[in-house]
């Protein structure tokens, strides 16, 4: 599932099956999903019948008609081939997923007791409770209700590093097909057989459940309307030619019709949509529908969690600020002693800072007979008792409360308390987190923990702003700290002390203004907001509720991907727009190839329009029909890879599309048709 393992476009494992699928897709029920190509297929079938009649009756120009009919069928087959190649990349990934969905045995617990029976994993029902021990494969999707274990999720994420799954909290969801590496867990099954997470992934990456998006449906209607117009125009042409005392062969009328309708974008439209979802899958993001991918491209507002998205997520000690009468060296020494057993990133950073800035080396705590006091959510402090000395480190209010319970003689003076609070307030205003340090009831000062804003994130937000996307940082910090970090990161707005209700209200407020909103989350408390958002990206490590509420799941559980998801969505829309522009524009060149060739016998004056200097009328018509088929194949790589994404506004994208794909759509057919005409003339086929 990782990008490095994604199948190449030129992989024979994709191209060979796609050739067979191109013929299988000639089924009328399959063709009917694409109105333009369905019409081309119908016309090809009718001209084939007419050709067979001419062969039987000894009609004229059979060689010319045969070439036209063959290239008409090639046009349909190439369109089917484009779709089959796009689907083939997903099928290659689905085959990999199927290998993870092997038949596993489950240890079904009886009435939640210690006894269990071994049953096939596919026989489990929603609500069953199973025991999964070290070495066992988790039989189906579920939620950990007891225990904690290390789980290998490489089967779905491509990452070999194990993750922790435990009951309660936001890391309780487990996926069928993953393996428990250590300890044991009890899992309550949440998905019925055939509807597990991997089952849904297989169906989606294969395209079996891909629904056309509203914009795709609208474009199909437009293309169908244009096709109908050309049908009417082609039908009326013979009545005009009768005034000139002649008639245009049906095969020529068919060639005119097929080359002038929007066959290029009609052939590639489905492949573009499938490729958009495929790009997300290769990026380890599973979109539950094409609508979600398209919505990502139209997003106006991004809600981003501060921790792990905007900041590194691990606060780092950056400075020691002592109170009057205390040296930085003394504060650093006490803070390092209190942090030696602290395995959190913050605690380790304090030890490193004291060592690097003041040369204080770690001590042999065993010889000092130290007793460490671990951090708890209730005390919000940690520390150490060593050789009769008590050192405490933690939240400022928690340390002050601890010191307030000491004998009067040991309590800090009011002036010192005010000084500590002033230092803490100054740190909070800059977006940092203050930790107070005290030794034997004496306040020594503050350790300044800084939220490190990710490198380059400010520039990323500037790009989004140029695209017209508003960014909002979501954080549980107080407004003062949130404002400082928001200013440093360059976001447009922030929501401080955020609650689930606040997030939901913000999303609804933005949507009431007609904006599309995207956000990510992993907890049960994020589920309402994920469900309300137009693009809700749930972390795979999150709860079942979050994964069910979102319309995308990030298998790597990386919240920063929300920005890339928006870029992939915009790339899908840009690709569709660019190729639509090219398809419509290249019809202009075909006018100059086919129109003069059709009417030259009746209106010699039209010879002036043969600006390409095509050899003969038959060569002009055949060259146009061949180019019309080959350009579909030539554009398959672009439709699958996508037009290069640029962080620019809509007006700039439109101007670029018109310049490159509009002008290119006019010029390329002139060169292509002329080269084909020269080749046909050289080998005597026309």
CA nearest neighbour of 665 among 576, 586, 566: 586
Q: Can you spell out the DSSP letters for 253-307?
A: HHHHHHHHS-HHHHHHHHHHHHHHHHHHHHTTEEES-HHHHHHHHT--EEEEETB
CB 65 within 8 A of CB 251: yes
111 catalytically annotated: no
- Angstrom distance (rounded) from CA 276 to CA 403: 60
- Angstrom distance (rounded) from CA 123 to CA 57: 65
Count of all residues that appear for the chain in the document: 686
Sheet architecture: strand order including 433-439: 316-322, 442-450, 433-439, 389-395, 381-386, 371-373
519 CB burial (10 A radius; 0-12, 13-18, 19+): buried
- Angstrom distance (rounded) from CA 499 to CA 517: 18
- Angstrom distance (rounded) from CA 86 to CA 292: 18
Tell me the two tokens of residue 209.
């459940």
The secondary structure element, H or E, covering residue 99 is helix 62-100
CA nearest neighbour of 420 among 530, 297, 324: 324
Query: Backbone phi, then psi, for 360, in 5-degree steps?
Result: -85, 115
CA nearest neighbour of 621 among 135, 139, 65, 151: 65
Partners of residue 120 on adjacent β-strands: 105
Tell me the two tokens of residue 245.
């005392």
Could you tell me which residues come within 8 angstroms of residue 185 by beta carbon, excluding any fewer than 6 positions away?
131, 132, 144, 146, 147, 148, 149, 165, 166, 167, 174
Rounded to an integer, what is the distance from CA 507 to the centroid of its chain? Answer: 20
CA nearest neighbour of 540 among 127, 163, 103: 163
DSSP helix/strand/coil, 493: strand
- Angstrom distance (rounded) from CA 222 to CA 493: 39
Token match 């899958």: residue?
281
Tell me the two tokens of residue 199.
């089952």
CB 194 within 8 A of CB 121: no
Partners of residue 189 on adjacent β-strands: 142
Out of 199, 305, 477, 534, the active site residue is 305
Q: Angle at Cα 560 formed by Cα 89 and Cα 519, nearest 5°?
A: 95
Partners of residue 461 on adjacent β-strands: none
CB 266 within 8 A of CB 226: no
Rounded to an integer, what is the distance from CA 259 to the centroid of its chain? Answer: 36
Which residues are catalytic, by number? Answer: 305
């Amino acid at each position: 599932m990782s990008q490095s393992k994604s199948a190449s476009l030129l992989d024979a494992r994709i191209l060979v099956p796609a050739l067979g699928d191109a013929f299988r897709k000639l089924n009328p029920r399959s063709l009917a999903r694409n109105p333009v190509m369905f019409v081309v297929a119908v016309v090809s079938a009718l001209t084939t019948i007419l050709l067979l009649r001419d062969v039987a009756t000894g009609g004229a120009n059979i060689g010319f008609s045969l070439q036209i009919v063959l290239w008409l069928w090639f046009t349909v087959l190439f369109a089917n081939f484009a779709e089959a190649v796009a689907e083939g990349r997903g099928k290659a990934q689905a085959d990999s997923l199927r290998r993870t969905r092997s038949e596993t045995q489950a240890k079904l617990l009886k009435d939640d007791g210690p006894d269990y029976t071994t049953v096939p994993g596919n026989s489990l029902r929603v609500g069953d409770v199973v025991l999964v021990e070290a070495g066992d494969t988790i039989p189906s999707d579920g939620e950990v209700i007891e225990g904690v274990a290390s789980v290998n999720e490489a089967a779905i994420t491509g990452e070999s590093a194990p993750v922790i799954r435990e009951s309660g909290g936001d890391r309780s969801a487990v996926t069928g097909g993953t393996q428990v590496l250590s300890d044991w867990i009890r899992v309550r099954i949440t998905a019925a057989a055939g509807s597990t997470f991997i089952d849904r992934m297989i169906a989606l990456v294969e395209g079996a459940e891909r629904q056309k998006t509203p914009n795709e449906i609208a474009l199909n209607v437009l293309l169908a309307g244009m096709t109908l117009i050309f049908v009417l125009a082609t039908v009326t042409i013979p009545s005009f030619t009768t005034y000139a005392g002649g008639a245009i062969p049906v095969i020529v009328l068919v060639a005119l019709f097929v080359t002038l309708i929007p066959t290029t974008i009609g052939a590639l439209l489905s492949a573009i949509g499938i490729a958009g979802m495929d790009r997300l899958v290769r990026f380890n993001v599973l979109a539950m529908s094409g609508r979600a991918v398209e919505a990502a491209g139209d997003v106006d507002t991004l809600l981003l969690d501060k921790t792990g998205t905007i900041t590194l997520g691990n606060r780092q000690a950056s400075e020691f600020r002592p109170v009057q009468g205390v040296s930085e060296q003394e504060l650093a020494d006490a803070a390092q002693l209190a942090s030696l057993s602290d395995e959190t990133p913050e605690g380790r950073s304090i030890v490193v800072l004291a060592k690097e800035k003041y040369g204080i080396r770690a001590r042999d705590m065993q010889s000092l007979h130290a007793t460490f006091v671990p951090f708890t959510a209730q005390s919000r402090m940690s520390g150490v008792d060593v050789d009769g000395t008590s050192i405490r480190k933690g939240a400022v209010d928690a340390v002050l409360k601890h010191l307030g319970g000491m004998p009067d003689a040991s309590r800090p003076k009011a002036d010192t308390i005010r000084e500590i609070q002033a230092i803490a307030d100054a740190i909070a205003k800059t977006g940092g987190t203050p930790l107070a340090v005290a030794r034997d009831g004496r306040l020594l000062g503050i350790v300044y923990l800084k939220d490190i804003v990710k490198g380059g994130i400010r520039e990323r937000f500037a790009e989004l702003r140029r695209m017209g996307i508003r960014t909002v940082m979501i954080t549980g910090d107080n407004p003062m700290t949130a404002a400082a970090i928001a200013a440093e990161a360059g976001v447009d707005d922030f929501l401080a002390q955020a609650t689930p209700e606040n997030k939901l209200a913000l999303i609804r407020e933005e949507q009431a203004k007609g904006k599309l909103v995207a956000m990510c989350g992993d907890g049960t408390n994020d589920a309402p907001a994920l469900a309300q958002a137009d693009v809700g990206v749930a972390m795979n490590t999150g709860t079942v509720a979050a994964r069910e509420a979102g319309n995308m799941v990030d298998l790597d559980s990386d919240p920063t991907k929300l920005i890339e998801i928006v870029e992939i969505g915009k790339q899908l829309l840009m690709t569709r727009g660019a190729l639509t522009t090219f398809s419509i524009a290249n019809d202009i060149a075909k006018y100059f190839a086919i129109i003069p060739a059709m009417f030259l016998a009746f209106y010699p004056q039209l010879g002036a329009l043969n600006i390409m200097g095509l050899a003969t009328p038959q060569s002009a018509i055949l060259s146009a029909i061949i180019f019309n088929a080959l350009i579909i194949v030539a554009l398959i790589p672009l439709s699958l890879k996508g037009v290069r994404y640029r962080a620019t506004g809509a007006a700039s994208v439109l101007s670029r599309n018109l310049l490159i794909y509009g002008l290119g759509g006019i010029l390329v057919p002139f060169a292509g048709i002329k080269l084909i005409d020269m080749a046909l003339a050289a080998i005597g086929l026309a």
